[in-house]
Amino acid sequence: MKFFSALNFKTISTLLACVSIAQAAGDKEAIADPNSAVVKLTSSTFSKFLDENPLVLAEFFAPWCGHCKALGPEFAQAADELESKDIKLAQIDCTEEEELCQEYGIRGYPTLKVFKGRDVLDYEGTRKSDGIVSYMIKQSLPPVSLIDDFEELLTYIEDQPVPVIVETGVKLNETFYQLSDANRDDFVFVQTKSAELKKKYGEDKILIFSKEFEEPLIYSDEDESYETLQQWVKAESLPYFGELDGSTYQKYSTANIPLAYLFYTSEEEREAWKDTVVELAKESRGKINFVGIDSTKFGRHAENLNMQQEFPLFVIHDVVTNKKYGFPQKEVLNQKEVAAFVKRYSVGEIDPIVKTEEIPEIQENFVYKIVGKTHNDIINDEEKDVLVKYYAPWCGHCKRLAPVYEELAELYASSKEGKSKIRIANVDATLNDVEVDIAGYPTLILYPAGDKSNPIVHKGGRDLQSLVNFIKESGSFELDGNALEDDVESIDEVEEPVTDDDSIKESKENTHDEL
């Protein structure tokens, strides 16, 4: 699992764009012109279409969406231009094909995905027709260049603005091509038979050439699987002291390595820290990535890392566990102490900073309120199937779900059997740190009694019956919420949903800085 909290670099530009989106959409339609080359897909036609077309760009949309309306004509124009190149563009209306959109994790509109057979990639190009055409043509080209001449190869490597990944043989041929296809937007890939290069670095090796390094990095792990190579390339190709902004955050978020931030106030301050940070990065290579971040542009991100907006500051974010380790802001930030802080972190001597609301003295609703301090205790209650809604207060989908979720909680809380076996809870994920992979809001996860290490994410409908069915089919007790009506207590006998005093006391006594 990974937890790279939203950096909000994209949010700023998105908010600015919203002012003009309505004007840009105008009277345009989100649904492509039926006379265009765009293909409308449904659940019944989707799989067959992917099997018959090797390269497809699919737009998952909603007809009412302003961004979708702005994209509609551009998407149709691109489809017409790409039709002769055997590249297909298709639309899926998520208001009609809800299950298909849920299968692909669609949480916003429009979402564009590239399909190469059954392999799926996120589209990362522009939303203008010429950008779509250019991006998709690039996706159709061979991802690997073949260069055997040694001098030509060195010149080619020197001319590239991004790291160059080189294979000196054919042993990893299939894996190398898979690697190149998945990363063609970030790196340049070359396969070579150069005797000089093989003599210098070895036969059947994968190398990373980068302007950041004096010598290429050589892959030496015995595990030659695609997954391991992918992780190695993403981690090792990053600079020792990179810059974090809207164009680079995804590279760091997918590296699955703790990320150390230096929030600086000026370029002069960043430069003064450079040698120290680079040295720390070399010592921690593969264990911690280091970046600078301009506090004058992205200072608010400090709050996402449980830090105050007081700069300069240094903090390490473990993107896998979502724990944050900040250099004490009451102390003066200096290079010697930061170096010591990193070393102590590396051996597990630094405690994380946990963001949490206070434990509620009284549970005011049937839905049990969880906070950061109580999260693990509640979900690990072996006596109950625990369903948790992870939400954000500003999320429209969460607001629409709230009354249904409250009704669901009341259904089980109003029955002796339901109350003893099922707990319906929620947590504001924007105010509480939790060790859960939250891809979007709301996220619903069931923690079955007796099997807490295997939580189940709800991917079905969000109506009351769908949630009741989910609890019955996924919970350890297989309890049918509909049958509880025969066991409902009288209204006068239904207990108010308050927190057990002993539970509060125990939770407070056991509270510490670890999740």
Q: CA–CA distance from 432 to each of 297, 327, 383, 386, 442 (Å)?
A: 25, 20, 24, 18, 15
Q: Which of 18, 94, 101, 398 is flagged as catalytic?
A: 398
**Tens digit of each residue's pLDDT (9 = 90 or more) over 279-331:** 999 999 989 999 999 999 999 999 989 999 999 999 999 988 889 999 999 99
Distance CA 98, CA 89 (A): 20
278: CB partners within 8 A, 6+ apart: 240, 241, 290
Distance CA 163, CA 209 (A): 6
Cβ atoms of 98 and 61 within 8 Å: the answer is no
* 18 noted as active-site residue: no
387 in a domain, yes or no? yes
Based on the fold, state whether residues 131 and 162 are members of the same structural domain.
no
* 68 noted as active-site residue: yes
Question: How high is the pLDDT of residue 509?
Answer: 37
Q: Which of 18, 68, 94, 101 is flagged as catalytic?
A: 68
Distance CA 384, CA 423 (A): 6
467: CB partners within 8 A, 6+ apart: 387, 404, 405, 408, 444, 458, 461
Q: Please state the domain count of the chain.
A: 4
Full DSSP string of 224-250:
--HHHHHHHHHHHTS-TEEE-STTTHH
Based on the fold, state whether residues 245 and 217 are members of the same structural domain.
no
Owner of token pair 């209306």: 93
Based on the fold, state whether residues 375 and 443 are members of the same structural domain.
yes
Based on the fold, state whether residues 136 and 158 are members of the same structural domain.
no
31 in a domain, yes or no? yes
Distance CA 483, CA 488 (A): 9
Distance CA 407, CA 404 (A): 5
Q: Which of 18, 65, 94, 101 is flagged as catalytic?
A: 65
423 in a domain, yes or no? yes
Question: How high is the pLDDT of residue 507?
Answer: 36
**Tens digit of each residue's pLDDT (9 = 90 or more) over 5-54:** 444 444 433 333 333 344 444 556 889 888 999 999 999 999 999 999 99
Cβ atoms of 359 and 449 within 8 Å: the answer is no
Based on the fold, state whether residues 373 and 505 are members of the same structural domain.
yes
Query: Where does a domain end: 214, 233, 252?
Result: 233
471 in a domain, yes or no? yes
Query: Where does a domain end: 140, 157, 183?
Result: 140
Cβ atoms of 97 and 42 within 8 Å: the answer is yes
Based on the fold, state whether residues 298 and 381 are members of the same structural domain.
no
309 in a domain, yes or no? yes
Query: Where does a domain end: 178, 209, 233?
Result: 233
211 in a domain, yes or no? yes
**DSSP code of 488?**
B
Based on the fold, state whether residues 123 and 252 are members of the same structural domain.
no
* 395 noted as active-site residue: yes
b/e per residue, 22-59, with b = 16+ CB within 10 A? eeebeeeebebeeebbbbebeeeebeebbeebebbbbb
Based on the fold, state whether residues 487 and 372 are members of the same structural domain.
yes
**Tens digit of each residue's pLDDT (9 = 90 or more) over 65-88:** 999 999 999 999 999 999 999 999
**DSSP code of 96?**
T
Domain range for 166 is 144-233
Among 123, 118, 14, 8, which Cα is nearest to 66's? Answer: 14
Distance CA 20, CA 192 (A): 49
Based on the fold, state whether residues 276 and 168 are members of the same structural domain.
no
Q: Which of 18, 94, 101, 395 is flagged as catalytic?
A: 395
CATH code (residue 114) = 3.40.30.10
Full DSSP string of 267-315:
HHHHHHHHHHHHHHHHHTTTT-EEEEEEHHHHTTHHHHTT--S-SSEEE
Distance CA 206, CA 229 (A): 9
Report the phi/psi class of residue 105: left, alpha or beta, with left for phi > 0 and alpha for psi in -120 to 50: left
351 in a domain, yes or no? no
271: CB partners within 8 A, 6+ apart: none
92 in a domain, yes or no? yes
Q: Please give, one letter per residue, the 3-state secondary structure of 121-173.
A: EECCCCCCHHHHHHHHHHHHCCCEEECCCHHHHHHHHHHCCCCEEEECCCCCH
2: CB partners within 8 A, 6+ apart: 253, 254, 256, 319, 320, 437
**Of all helices (H) and strands (E), which one includes residue 422?**
strand 422-428
Structure tokens at 297: 């542009």
Distance CA 378, CA 358 (A): 15
Question: How high is the pLDDT of residue 231?
Answer: 86
Based on the fold, state whether residues 126 and 162 are members of the same structural domain.
no
Based on the fold, state whether residues 228 and 245 are members of the same structural domain.
no
Residue ranges of alpha helices (H) inside 284-393 are: 295-298, 301-304, 335-346, 375-379
Based on the fold, state whether residues 88 and 218 are members of the same structural domain.
no
Residue 137 backbone phi and psi in degrees, to 5: -65, -40
* 65 noted as active-site residue: yes
Residue 241 backbone phi and psi in degrees, to 5: -135, 85
Among 195, 290, 186, which Cα is nearest to 233's? Answer: 186
Q: Which residues of the chain have pLDDT under 70?
A: 1-28, 485-515
Structure tokens at 293: 């971040």
Question: How high is the pLDDT of residue 440?
Answer: 86
Question: How high is the pLDDT of residue 214?
Answer: 86
